[in-house]
Amino acid sequence: MELQLTGAQILLECLKEQGVDTVFGYPGGTILDVYDALYQTSGISHYLVSHEQGAAHAADGYARSTGRVGVCFATSGPGATNLTTGIATAMADSSPIVAISCNVTSQLLGKNSFQEVDSTAVMRPITKWTHQVTDVAELADVVRAAFLVARSGRPGPVFLDITKDVTQTMTSYAPVHLSEHLARLEPGLLPEGLRASLEPPVVDEGAVDEVARLVLSSKRPMIICGGGVVRSRANGELNRFANLIDAPVAITVMGGGGFRGRDPLTTGMIGMHGSQASNMAVDNCDLLLALGCRFSDRIALQPDTFAAKAKVVQIDIDPREVGKNVHCEQAILGDVRQVLQLLLQRLEPEGQLDHSDWKEFVFSYPTETVYDEEEGHLTPKQVDSVVARLCPQDTIVSTDVGQHQMWAIQHFHYDYPGQLITSGGFGTMGFGLGAAIGAQVGNPTKRVIHVTGDGSFRMNCIELATEEHYKLPIITIIYDNEVLGMVHQWQTLIYNGHYSQTNLDRPPSWPDLARAYGLDGRRVSTVADFEDALREALDCGHGYVIDVVLDRDEMVRPMVPGGQHITNFLAV
């Protein structure tokens, strides 16, 4: 049945058609018709953030933690450009969000109108697809296409810019079933290559046979669990596969939760701040199976010598990533979950493999950093251990970027996809609190911990207002060393102690700031005080900020400098 609706109403109906019940946003002049329609509709909850960047990060955190598409709204000009950091963050980490802004009317485009910017030109390099809607007749198809693009193939962000006159114009609207969306798309709406990528790639069965043969002949197999395992929710299949072939598993920053951190086969993080066990295993294996891993410069720091003794197998859904950074002898193009299922079909009849000697070598190296524990002196491991002991095992952890991020990945043990939410590819300071808000909204029955540093937290701490208003019981733990920790560490190790502009011994007092926003907070400097504060935070039923005093010279260890061989540890 066709209805006569305005463009603003059609937009909301299309969102509901896609199963959207949550939007994060910030209104403004050009998007007011959408907000007016939202006022008169039901079924969509809107969360008003403090800054549009927070809306993008919240949509991203929602998407990563739930596996659904996250949605955010913004107005034109600075509203739209304030979304860019969040959109670029989602693009770097293959997170499916749909960001929607409204622009000036079609007649005012290109005339330097108030709050006008060519936002589609700004967004095009940092999205899977960007489209401006100037004709209400195409609006429904564009919105449907946006969700298809965001969640299909290698997921990622889509940006839609809708002119104000489109939101005001009436036209006919007919609901469409999700299964019909791709078939109904106008042929010219999406670029041909993008449209083709919406269909899952057909896995080459011959390549699967060859990889199975390589596995059976390997004496020293090694697996890298990358972000593709998390995105495809292939954790169950990877657990079966790794234990079947008896291979150690290293985990990338984006792979957290793709393989159980408590599994005896886990070697810990790999790369620049990877464990000695992970890096030594990659350097000595004879077969490296990279699952959903793009071999970034933080993993393959020196590509020419990376896994030089191994035959490298790369399994990825994106053909552009295969062989891009590290040469691979064999590749399988496809969804990681589907490929693992096919490999299991071939290998399970062969029975359990045994690589005890190889594992003995690998695990002779530490999988975690050992710290000198001193009375009254907090270490990152002590903080993380208390969190792991007191919080539920399914607690979601959102991080910002820096030393605290590496410590949280090194020392927490993630059990399922979406449990770790962190900015890996773009390295966005200020990401964590917005992402935690999105994760808490999407997972209201789970505990959400936001781990941050004093440098990152000061960037977007304004979202404490959002946390308080919506009664979100997020616990923020600040690793407070009064410096830009990771940059300070590099200045110590590489720049001869030239601490240029990394000192942060300045206001505010974080507990006082939390109280100003209507939350509670404490500053702690001992393990006992931290444990008391965390218990109080878990029991209080609302947001809480714990300011943890750390030594400014505490380092993330191990560390391999950029461009160096993966076992050239500068600090261990």
What are the residue numbers of the active site? 52, 114-115, 164, 486
Dist. CA 137–CA 173, nearest whole Å: 9
Do 285 and 361 contact (CB within 8 A), yes or no? no
Dist. CA 138–CA 410, nearest whole Å: 48
The number of residues in the chain equals: 572
Phi-psi region of 324 (alpha: psi -120 to 50; beta: other; left: phi over 0): alpha
Dist. CA 464–CA 444, nearest whole Å: 17
Residue 354 CB burial class (10 angstroms; 0-12, 13-18, ≥19): exposed
Dist. CA 409–CA 561, nearest whole Å: 19
Q: Which residues contact 177 (CB under 8 A, 6 or more apart)?
A: none
Do 25 and 55 contact (CB within 8 A), yes or no? yes
Cβ neighbour number for residue 534 with a 10 Å cutoff: 24
Do 119 and 161 contact (CB within 8 A), yes or no? yes
Dist. CA 451–CA 545, nearest whole Å: 10
CA distance readout (Å), 146 to 84, 128, 149, 438: 17, 9, 5, 20
